[in-house]
Amino acid sequence: MNQLPVAEVLDQLRDTLNQYDEVVLEAPPGAGKTTLVPLELLQHEALTGQKMLMLEPRRLAARMAAERMAQQLGEKVGQTVGYRVRMDSKIGPDTRIEVITEGILTRMLQDDPSLDGYGLVIFDEFHERSLDADFGLAMALQGRELFRDEQPLKLLLMSATLDKRVIEQLLPGAPLISSQGRMFPVDIRYLGAPARQERLEKKMALAVQQALQEESGSLLVFLPGQREIRNLARELKDQIPENVLLTPLYGDLNIEAQQQAIQPPMEGQRKIVLATNIAETSLTIEGIRVVIDAGLSREARLDPASGMTRLHTCKVSRAASIQRAGRAGRMEPGCCYRLWSETGQEQLAPYANPEILTTDLTSLALQLARWGVNDPAELRWLNLPPAAALNQGRDLLIRLGALEQKGAGLQLTKAGEMMAQLPLHPRLAHMILIGWQLGCSELACDLAALLSERDPLDGDADISRRLAWLRGELNCSNANRGVLHRIRQLSKQFRNIANKRLKGLNQSAMQAIKSDLVAVLLAQAYPDRIAACRRPGGRDYQLSGGRAVRLTEYDSLSKQRWLAIANCGGVQGQSSDKVFLAAALSPQLFDTLLSGLVTKTKVVEWDRELERVCCEEQRKVGQLVLSRKQLSEVPLAEKNAALITVVRKQGLKILPWNDDIQRWRQRITFLFNSQPEAGWPDLSEQSLLETLEQWLMPFLDPVSHVNHFSRLNLMEILQGLLPWPLPKLLSEQAPVRLSLPSGHSAAIDYSESPPVLAVKLQEMFGCTSTPTIGNGVRVKIHLLSPARRPLAVTQDLASFWSNAYREVQKDMKGRYPKHQWPDNPLEALPSDGIKRKKRT
């Protein structure tokens, strides 16, 4: 073990841990940090009489790390070295090193924030930035600050690739120790991405064939998910030689299948391991010297619009691609085939997004409440939880009855305290809580276990088939026997926890038909996914949360009017969401066991057919209406608010405009634009629509039908927007008409900018200065012919007389000989008719 590369920095690590409470260790894959560092720190003086925790991101990695360390000590797991993962624990009274999955640290800290008895917490593979690791680190830092003054808890962050800038922001004083590791050279070969119409599995199969011919040793093939692994396995089944063993590797496999993928092949054999990103770190797979990388991973991301988690197939980060390639150079020089270009490599993001920025934060919101934190900024984070996702999680917890408003903040209810102690997503914890109260906790635990693992059956969405399969009433394929065993074990574990944590909780006296219980439990866990069929006999449903989903064709549930849906969603690029797991729901349950999900709401809205405001009482589940009851009296304030909504939707045209009002409004608009400092109101359509509550709502009391809008004195309403002394200034600054040199007057058109004065040319004889309005704004003069057709447009009369007038005179003199077209218009008398006026 001391030959492992990380051994070179162990003395430095021990000395540094003497001086500092936080240390960062960076070591490449294969350096031995996971198995050697904890063993070497057993005898560290700062840890005398104390235990250490080491966090691993995955169950398989935790078990494997514990087993390797126990082997080095010549012991069995559960003695000096043990592990704790979901459904499995091997810890003894003498255990000093506990290897745990990351979520277990959160529960340990909730039970004992001081982590009494532990001297060191090691965060292994910290670069993966899981939500549990980030939260666990934040809790450990605060717990240490509050409870470990005398003997501070030491923290060690270990990783192969770290974003040092982020770490330095959180732990500015933490020294960084780097191990160079032992990395054999890896030849990188870029094969280019699949063509647009080419299936990924087809391209990968060709790459595998190429690697088998060009290179020796076993192959590790990185794919985004289980579907691609199964497809590629089928593609390769008849293409590879008999001495080549094909083994999948992903988290849902049983232990035996995972061990088969990890162990070295028998002599004379080669092995192809088809793996997800589970093989990027922590695990050492014997005999690998060739890596084939699709460059993709599948991530679960929260869709803020729907509140549902969707699967996205994403490009890996540059750091992950380096990690993957490094698997080929653990034991000897190797080779890595990449299904992208060298240019594409440079375009990859440097690091993957932390999970806290993209995932559902409901569980985090519940654990924060249990920790006693309303504002997450009270903790020290590498990345602060996004407020929108956190609030969305809190809203769901309120609907589940786990949180309630208390003063300015939120606090756990009694039910929430129980839910927070169950190691499940809050939805499933609530399901088990309801199941206990209804006396069907075994069914609730079976459902929770099924929903915690991948769906074992394809096709029909009816979850009752899964329950029958779980109970042995349906045949189980060999491929699913490991999943079946795991789900049964998980259900048994949930029952034990429920019996321990919920003992003494009152049970409901309300009885339910056995066939209804599944739907009741699902509806209580997923109140936002109760669904009503949009059309009789159709496959399209609307969720109580507002989204639309669809059943596949010929699904046995497609004739059901109501559904309780446990799992729905889609993948990136799909146009609609699909229902994966659901149960038929009887609407009568909304009067009994699901009555707590029903709200009564008085709804005042515009009836588009009747074109009037109507009022009704609606019984609703979320956004789904169960029943309606017409009410004769409409509350005035709510009626007026509904009318405002109508005006906003249909526009100002619904109001009784006339030409006089429009011309008045145009005059105000001119002054608003030309005198912004004078306080003239903005009467643009956008502004009026935005401020309907201020200027229109007070006058809507007599309106309830579309025809009643004509009763409004719109001019008087709008004039009320002019404070004193603006009404008086209006006629001075924006007059309706202007006096002309001929002695007549002409109306000003304020619909254009600048305003237009249309007048016969002869009426402006002798006038050299352009008329102005407002604070010196020159009007645009349209000089007209005797037939009132435009001859010229100008804002500079003096220039017109001296330049353009000669052309107009020449053209008009013959056409209108009875009218004046003098050679000197500045001395001619203005007139609006044929008769010539002489100067006296």
**Alpha-carbon distance 397 to 363, whole Å?**
9
Confidence at residue 522, expressed as pLDDT on a 0 to 100 scale:
97
pLDDT at 836 over 70: no
Better-scored residue on pLDDT, 197 or 276: 276
Of the listed ranges 17-21, 52-56, 180-184, 527-531, the least confidently predicted one is: 180-184
* Structure confidence at residue 303 as a pLDDT band (50, 70, 90): low
Q: Is domain 5-178 given the CATH code 3.30.420.40 in the classification?
A: no
Any idea where the domains of the chain sit in the sequence?
5-178, 186-357, 422-597, 600-734, 736-815
- Amino acid identity of 104? I
In the chain, what percentage of residues exceed pLDDT 90?
A: 52
Pairing state between β 780-784 and 790-794: antiparallel
- Give the pLDDT score at 307: 63
pLDDT band for 182, please (50, 70, 90 cuts).
low
- Quick: pLDDT tens for 103-152: 899 999 999 999 999 999 999 988 888 999 999 999 999 999 999 888 89
Residue 765 pLDDT > 70, yes or no?
A: yes
Of 299-308, 410-419, 691-700, the least confident = 299-308
Which pLDDT does position 209 carry in this prediction? Answer: 93
CA–CA separation, 288 and 292 (whole Å): 11
**pLDDT of res. 839:** 46
Q: Is the pLDDT confidence value at 825 over 70?
A: yes
Q: Is the pLDDT of residue 279 over 90?
A: no
- The whole-number average pLDDT for the span 463-473 is 94
CA–CA separation, 780 and 131 (whole Å):
67
pLDDT in tens, 608-666: 888 888 888 889 999 999 998 888 788 888 889 989 999 999 899 999 999 999 999 99
- The confidence band for 330, taking pLDDT boundaries of 50, 70 and 90, is confident
Mean pLDDT of 565-572: 77
Identify the CA nearest to 522 among candidates 534, 530, 514, 512: 530
pLDDT of residue 834: 66
The whole-number pLDDT of residue 383 equals 92
| Rg of the Cα atoms in the chain | 39
Phi and psi (nearest 5°) for 324? Answer: -65, -45
Give the separation between CA 136 and CA 159, rounded to whole angstroms.
Answer: 16
Residue 218 or residue 840, greater confidence: 218
Mean pLDDT of the chain, nearest integer: 88
pLDDT band at 574 (very low <50, low <70, confident <90, very high): low
Question: Would you tell me which CATH number, out of the four given (3.40.50.720, 3.50.50.60, 3.40.190.170, 3.40.50.300), belongs to the domain 186-357?
Answer: 3.40.50.300
- In angstroms, the first-to-last Cα distance of the chain is 124
Q: Kindly report each contact of residues 484-488 with a partner whose C-beta sits within 8 Å and lies 24 or more positions away, as own/partner.
A: 484/456, 485/254, 486/87, 486/254, 486/453, 487/449, 487/450, 487/452, 487/453, 487/456, 488/449
Q: What is the pLDDT of residue 787?
A: 86
pLDDT at 840: 44
pLDDT exceeds cutoff 50 at 81:
yes
pLDDT score of 838 = 47
List of residues 6+ apart from 324 with CB closer than 8 A: 222, 280, 291, 293, 316, 336
Q: Are 628 and 605 in contact (CB under 8 A)?
A: no
Please report the DSSP string for 518-575 in residue order.
Answer: HHHHHHHH-GGGEEEESSTT-SEEEETTS-EEEPPTT-TTTT-SEEEEEEEE-BTT-S
306: confidence class by pLDDT, cuts 50, 70, 90: low
Are 5-178 and 186-357 equal in CATH topology? yes
- Which pTM was predicted? 0.78
Which percentage of the chain shows pLDDT scores above 70?
Answer: 95
**What's the pLDDT tens digit per position in 400-445?**
999 998 887 899 999 999 999 888 999 999 999 999 999 899 999 9
Backbone angles phi and psi of 270, in degrees to 5: -120, 160
pLDDT given for residue 514 in this prediction: 77
Provide the pLDDT for residue 295. Answer: 92
Average pLDDT over residues 346-373: 92
